[in-house]
Amino acid sequence: MNDIPKIKEILTDLCSLPGVSGHETPVAEEIKTIWSKLCDEISVSRLGNVYALKKGINAPEDAHRKVLFATHMDAVGMIVTELTGEFVRFEEIGGLDPRILPGQFVTIHTKTGPVKGLIVMPTKSLTKETYGSNPIPLKDLLIDTGYEAEDLQKIVRPGDVISYANDPVSMQDDTFSGHTLDNRASVAAVAVCLQELQTIQHKWDVIAAATVLEEESMAGGKTAPVDIRPDIAVAIDVTFATGPGSKEWNTRPLGSGPALGFGMNIHPKLYELFKGICEELRIPYTTEFSPRMTGTDGRELQVALNGIPTIVISIPLRYMHTANELISMKDVRDVGHLLAEFVHRLDENTMDSLVWED
């Protein structure tokens, strides 16, 4: 497929940019650039969500139906809490396992520009509690920037946001590794969908939303439906791929295609619809059982306005929230393709089919 390098390039750009929750502007600008070439209108909400509108055809203005594809663009990260001599102390934004942090490169976003840093562990006798060979909790980890104390104090301030700094890497057999593939992989998948929609006739309006703050308050997912007033909402996110350290029932192989959500946040008819398209087109898929609330924008979209039929579709990903997450590009393309085929099938009868059969 000739779009392989293109989507990989897009994803490389997306994963090279910071966009820690609440500070999404750098990546938002890039998403606007990427999506604007593939849609009719681009706008930004009051909280910072990016919306790309791809208009449907052949429908009178008042009958326009709308589907919302919500992909959060924010990333987990850190924030400076204090300076101590040549070192920086920090707190997390989103959920971080402190055990993966020592030895990790980060970028501190200061008023004078980015400063590279390395997360390090204090040696014995430097901490209040004694940890022995146990992990050092986040509060005792430090960042070393290589600057001497006097210079550091001039540059870095408490409140400066910190992001992972490693570059994304192409791996074996169309796999791809980097930080923030949660959830930039989904932003790329929506780009695949919008690309396909350039040559597919569709009746409904499609609004792709890159939402803010999912990792913290889900504020972007909560407010997007108020801006958009969608008839159907699809949250596109990542889910756990089977791999070293995670082999539980709720994981699925890398490369196994879209994971279709199933559970209380998902309208069962939407699940059936997506499953039917996968089977018809022989797109591999798995079902992701969610016996509890999904940890995605989907749970906010469902209860927005007067209630919206919602589904969550996920890309399998290993090592979530570490600086070296891992996906298969094939899954990104399959999710994009599935979304486009879904849009292709939306018509004036779709809403009537989304009923509860008692």
| 81 near another protein, rule: CB under 8 A | no
In this structure, the chain runs to a length of 358
CA atoms within 13 A on the CB side of 28: 24
For residue 193 the two structure tokens come to 């969908």
d(CA 196, CA 191): 9
Piece of 164-172, 286-294, 296-304, 331-339 that binds another protein (CB under 8 A):
164-172
354 binds another protein (CB under 8 A): no
Nearer to another protein, 26 or 98 (CB): 98
Cβ-Cβ contacts under 8 Å for 51 (sequence gap 6 or more): 41, 42, 43, 44, 45, 207, 208, 209, 224, 227, 228
Q: Would you call 148 exposed, middle or buried from its count of C-beta atoms within 10 A (0-12, 13-18, 19+)? A: exposed
Q: Which residues from 248-307 bind another protein, rule CB under 8 A?
A: 248, 254, 295
- For 197, phi and psi rounded to 5 degrees? -70, -15
Closer to another protein at the Cβ: 156 or 206?
Answer: 156
Which of 38-46, 91-99, 299-307, 333-341 is the region at the interface with another protein (rule: CB under 8 A)?
A: 91-99
Contact in structure between 11 and 330 (CB atoms under 8 Å): no
For residues 215 and 220, give the distance between their C-alpha atoms in angstroms, rounded to a whole number. Answer: 10
Query: CB-wise, 46 or 111, nearer to another protein?
Result: 111
135 binds another protein (CB under 8 A): yes
Site size toward another protein, by CB under 8 A:
67
Tell me which of 16, 145, 163, 186 binds another protein, using CB under 8 A: 145
Site mask for another protein (CB under 8 A), range 195-214, x = bound: --------------------
Segment near another protein (CB under 8 A); pick from 42-50, 95-103, 209-217, 341-349 = 95-103
Helix axes 329-345, 181-197, angle to 10 degrees: 50
Interface residue with another protein among 2, 58, 125, 349 (CB under 8 A) is 125
Among the listed residues 17, 27, 136, 339, the single contact to another protein using CB under 8 A: 136
Strands (DSSP E) contained in the chain are 41-44, 50-54, 66-72, 77-84, 87-93, 105-110, 113-120, 142-144, 161-164, 169-170, 175-178, 205-211, 232-240, 259-263, 286-290, 310-317, 325-328
Instruction: Tell the smallest beta-carbon distance from residue 151 to another protein (Å).
Output: 6
- Is the Cα torsion angle 53, 280, 59, 202 positive or negative in sign? positive
Name the segment binding another protein (CB under 8 A); options: 34-42, 297-305, 323-331, 341-349: 323-331
Least Å distance between CB 32 and another protein?
Answer: 30
- Provide the minimum distance between the beta carbon of 333 and another protein in the complex, in angstroms, as a whole number: 16
User: Of these, 122, 276, 284, 307, which contacts another protein (CB under 8 A)?
Assistant: 122
Interface stretch with another protein, choices 35-43, 200-208, 272-280, 317-325 (CB under 8 A) = 317-325
Residues 6 or more apart whose CB falls under 8 angstroms from that of 194 comprise: 35, 38, 39, 52, 54, 206, 208
Number of alpha carbons in the 13 Å side-chain half-sphere of residue 191: 25
Binding segment toward another protein, per CB under 8 A, in 9-17, 57-65, 166-174, 266-274: 166-174
> What minimum distance in Å lies between the beta carbon of 28 and another protein?
25
Per CB under 8 A, residues contacting another protein are 84-87, 95-105, 116-118, 120-123, 125-128, 133-136, 140, 142, 144-148, 151-152, 166-167, 169-177, 240, 243-246, 248, 254, 295, 318-324, 326, 328
